[in-house]
Amino acid sequence: MRTGFFWDESCFWHSGGNYAGMLPVGGLVQPMVNGGLPESPESKRRMKNLLDMTDLSGELDMRGSEPATQRDLLRVHPANFLDQFKAMSDAGGGEIGLRCPFGPGGFEIAAQSAGLAKAALQAVLKGDVKNAYSLSRPPGHHCTADQPMGFCLMANIAIAIEAGFADGLAKRVAVLDWDVHHGNGTEAIFYERADVLTISMHQENNFPLNTGAFADRGAGEGEGFNLNIPLPTGAGHLSYLEAMDQIVLPQLRAYQPDVIIVACGFDATVIDPLGRMMATVDTFREMTKRVMVLADDVCEGRLMMAHEGGYSEVYVPFCGHAVLEEMSGSQIKAPDPLADLYLQRQPGEAHQRFVSSEIAKMRDALGN
Ligand code: ZN
């Protein structure tokens, strides 16, 4: 069996918003010739192109999917939100929620993005593929049931999970979010549920502001089934692996999920415009290896990754390629072109020690 790679051209056509970086154009913010939101199609399109250039895509099971159905969407999102989004989309687009612009047909593209995640998860749960990657765009992890934000228009992963539950394909699901931003949407949707463990490892207090605290552990039946690991700004390769080894992996193992889903953002890299962390291609490679070993131990290797953020159009493709090299076990390599520049530019020893002590505090509090 091969690694499934789920993608759809329409996801690259999602557009909208007159922005210059994160700023709406107007006043003293000049429009950009090649501008727009940092969440451009290029990081995703170039990732797919790189897979084709090296022919790694030839070793993957390249698939498309149907869009998520209204029934799929309604398991997570209220009808009035979907109706409003669809009406705006039919009328030419607009902006819904915080930093969530979209163009004509944005509703259908968002449903397609969620449909890819749903199909990827189903393929994994049915044993049709070795594991799977969904190149979803727009991303999903900031979107709550009724509040899109941070480029996320629908909650892709939550929609995929609920479809899996509805079809009786899984009972317990673990989500590990390593996007540099807090996975607040996925957290909120499952906050009072014990059947979905949500873990978010993120730069502390980046986005959204004032969410993602270590103290937020879930509520009601979900008490203890949400975990935030806010890492100090500037944490690098070694810190990410330390957090994985000391906190994330023991928590995943203790939960014994039927499948592990990774909210796979590549914006924790040293070159990303929207993060202030120092991960590299190797960080994502090593984290992928670790998650795969764990998935082999606890859930027969069942692993699905859904693409989230990542805004370096140059570097994201190489991070994605490395993840897919590991997932598929391919010998085709796309070496990190920035290794000479960035691998040696990791945090100094004092900062490294500081981050380690913060990680140790969280580990000790959890009793891992
Ligand atoms: Zn992000």
Separation of CA 1 and ligand 1 centre (Å) = 31
Distance from the alpha carbon of residue 265 to the mean position of ligand 1, in angstroms: 6
Domains delineated in the chain: 4-14+34-366 (3.40.800.20)
How far is the centre of ligand 1, averaged over its atoms, from the C-alpha of 168 (Å)? Answer: 31
207-264 per-position pLDDT tens digit: 999 999 999 999 999 999 999 999 999 999 999 999 999 999 999 999 999 999 999 9
Give how far Cα 214 sits from Cα of 143, 204, 252, 317, Å. Answer: 20, 10, 16, 31
Cα dihedral value 360, 361, 364, 368, nearest 10? -50
Q: What is the pLDDT of residue 343?
A: 66
Residue 82 sits at φ, ψ, to 5 deg, of -65, -40
Q: For residues 147-162, give the mean pLDDT.
A: 98
Please provide the average confidence, as pLDDT, over all residues in the chain. Answer: 96
Residue 165's DSSP bridge partners are none
pLDDT per residue as tens digits for the range 106-147 = 999 999 999 999 999 999 999 999 999 999 999 999 999 999
Catalytic residues: 142
Q: What is each CA distance from 268 to 62, 141, 163, 193, 283, in whole angstroms?
A: 27, 15, 29, 28, 10
pTM, two decimal places: 0.97
CA–centroid distance, 309 to ligand 1, in Å, is: 4
Average pLDDT over residues 153-162: 98
For tokens 């490294």, what's the residue?
352
What is the length of the chain? 368
Asked if the model's pLDDT at residue 23 lies above 90, the reply is no
Cα distance between residue 56 and residue 328, in whole Å: 9
Which residues crowd ion ligand 1, with CB under 5 Å?
A: 179, 181, 265, 267, 309
CB 43 within 8 A of CB 135: no
pLDDT score recorded for residue 15: 87
